Structure 1
Amino acid sequence: MINIGKVLDTFSATKESSGLPRPKVENLNLIKDYGIENDKFAGKKLEQTVMIVGVESYEIAKDKGIDLEFGCLGENILLDFDPHTLKVGTNLIIGDAIIQITQVCTVCNHLAVFDESLPLLLKGHRGLYCRIVNNGIVSKDMIVKIEG
Structure 2
Amino acid sequence: MKKLGKVIGTFSATKESKSSSPRPKVEILNLIKDFGIKNDKFAQKDLDKTVMVLGVNSYEVSLQNNINLEFGSLGENVIFDFNPHTLPIGTVLQIGECQIQIMQKCTMCDHLSIFHKRLPKIVKDCRGLYCKILKNGTIEVDFDVYI
Q: Per the shorter chain, which TM-score range?
A: over 0.9
Which blocks of at least 5 consecutive residues in structure 2 are unaligned? none
Runs of 4+ in 1 over 3 A off after TM superposition: none
What's 1:5 paired with?
5
| SS of aligned partner of 1:24 | coil
What's 2:71 paired with?
70
Q: Within 2, Cα distance between the matches of 1:54 and 1:22?
A: 16
Pick which of 69-78 and 107-116 moved more. 107-116
CA deviations on 1:81-135 (whole Å, 9 max, x unpaired) are 0010000000000011000000000121111111111111111210000000000
Supply the AA of the counterpart residue of 1:53: L
Pick which of 12-21 and 39-48 moved more. 12-21
Q: Within 2, Cα distance between the matches of 1:71 and 1:139?
A: 15
Q: Within 2, Cα distance between the matches of 1:29 and 1:123?
A: 28
Higher strand share: 1
User: Structure 1 residue 17 and structure 2 residue 24: aligned?
Assistant: no
The size of the alignment, in residue pairs, is 146
What's 2:45 paired with?
44
What's 1:109 paired with?
110
Q: Within 2, Cα distance between the matches of 1:114 and 1:53?
A: 18
Pick which of 116-125 and 135-144 moved more. 116-125
Q: Within 2, Cα distance between the matches of 1:103 and 1:74?
A: 15
Supply the AA of the counterpart residue of 2:139: V
Q: Within 2, Cα distance between the matches of 1:66 and 1:124?
A: 16
Q: Within 2, Cα distance between the matches of 1:115 and 1:9?
A: 22
Which blocks of at least 5 consecutive residues in structure 1 are unaligned? none
What's 2:139 paired with?
138
